[in-house]
């Protein structure tokens, strides 16, 4: 499958390209990435090149569908969002673009596309405890908090620490649900 382009009121979601490598490298220097994400650390330009190459390959394989987030067609990348065919979403936003609701909008676009094009019964989400920004985004997009359990995506060291989990069912409303650890 070739990468798609999704549009929302304020955003364009499109495949990352070689032109995005420097922005990806810069954003992935954020200390929060070391604390909460499974991206390599320290993160170098070669990691970003490998990531962009892997995105194209995974689209073709149908195993993972990652899109860059932009404010307009020709604008620079401001974040990243993806859905793995095994069922889970992941996302990050560049620090200077946080707090404007962009990620909630991108997540809403991504989950609608996934439910229409791939028809899973549910989409899952996870993060390490304390990642309140990720939890707030997922809650705002209508995910239900399902509790604490080991991560599905191993940490950099291969461990599977306990994490916060959530899910969104295909036919469920997209209103925020109670019960989140916020």
pLDDT tens profile 129-172: 999 999 999 999 999 999 999 999 899 999 999 999 999 999 99
Pair of tokens at residue 155: 């940490």
Q: What is the pLDDT of residue 84?
A: 97
Q: What is 6-169's CATH superfamily?
A: Gcn5-related N-acetyltransferase (GNAT) (3.40.630.30)
Average pLDDT over residues 52-80: 97
Q: Is the pLDDT confidence value at 182 over 90?
A: no
d(CA 77, CA 14): 9
Q: Is the pLDDT confidence value at 105 over 90?
A: yes
pTM as predicted:
0.96
Average pLDDT over residues 103-118: 98
d(CA 30, CA 28): 5
Q: What is the pLDDT of residue 60?
A: 97
Residue 90 pairs in a beta bridge with 82
Average pLDDT over residues 89-95: 98
Q: List own/partner pairs for 108-111 with CB under 8 A and 24 or more apart.
A: 108/8, 108/141, 108/142, 108/174, 109/6, 109/7, 109/8, 109/11, 109/13, 110/6, 110/13, 110/67, 110/81, 110/82, 110/83, 111/83, 111/141, 111/168
């Amino acid at each position: 499958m070739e990468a798609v382009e999704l549009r929302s009121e304020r955003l364009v979601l499109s495949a990352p390209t070689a032109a995005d490598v420097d922005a990806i490298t810069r954003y992935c220097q954020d200390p929060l990435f070391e604390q909460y994400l499974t991206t390599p650390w320290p993160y170098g330009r070669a990691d970003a090149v490998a990531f962009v190459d892997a995105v194209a390959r995974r689209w073709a394989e149908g195993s993972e569908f990652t899109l860059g987030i932009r404010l307009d067609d020709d604008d620079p990348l401001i974040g990243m969002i993806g859905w793995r065919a095994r069922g889970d979403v992941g996302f990050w936003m560049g620090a200077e673009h946080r707090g404007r609701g962009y990620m909630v909008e991108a997540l809403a676009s991504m989950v609608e596309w996934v439910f229409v094009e791939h028809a899973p019964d549910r989409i899952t989400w996870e993060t390490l405890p304390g990642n309140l920004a990720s939890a707030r985004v997922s809650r705002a997009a209508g995910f239900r908090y399902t509790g604490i359990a080991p991560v599905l995506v191993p940490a950099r060291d291969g461990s599977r620490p306990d994490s916060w989990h959530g899910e969104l069912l295909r036919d469920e409303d997209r209103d925020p649900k109670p019960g989140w650890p916020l």
